[in-house]
Amino acid sequence: MDKRGMLPASEFVQSQKALLLSRYESIRSTGNMSKTLTDTLTRIEYALKRIENETYGVCCHCGDDIEKKRLAQIPETPFCVSCAEEREYQKNRNR
């Protein structure tokens, strides 16, 4: 761990992969696939593909790094805070 208590990048990504796989299996085992759970599974699958492609932790919109703190809280997120806020703003504006 570094002085901020964070794992080195490769260890962090591997721990996130294990967490994502665990969440994926947990959701799948419920058998109750609401739209929300189906959407979550899709985001997890996409995050696992980004790990394979070595693009995990890079914002899919702007290309900036996603903070580890954000990834630790929302491991399947494809967006940095700024882009996620902008998407939410646009979504709410278009209602």
Matching residue, tokens 């996409």: 46
Q: What is the predicted pLDDT for the residue at 3?
A: 42
pTM of the model: 0.81
Q: What is the rounded CA–CA span in Å between residue 75 and residue 1?
A: 19
Give the 3-state secondary structure of 19-77.
Answer: HHHHHHHHHHHHCCCCHHHHHHHHHHHHHHHHHHCCCCCECCCCCCECCHHHHHHCCCC
Q: What is the predicted pLDDT for the residue at 93?
A: 86
Q: What is the predicted pLDDT for the residue at 9?
A: 67
| Per-residue pLDDT in tens (0 to 9) along the chain, 95 residues | 444 444 456 899 999 999 999 999 999 998 878 999 999 999 999 999 999 998 999 999 999 999 999 999 999 999 999 999 999 998 888 87
Q: Which domains does the chain have, with CATH numbers?
A: 9-93 (1.20.120.910)
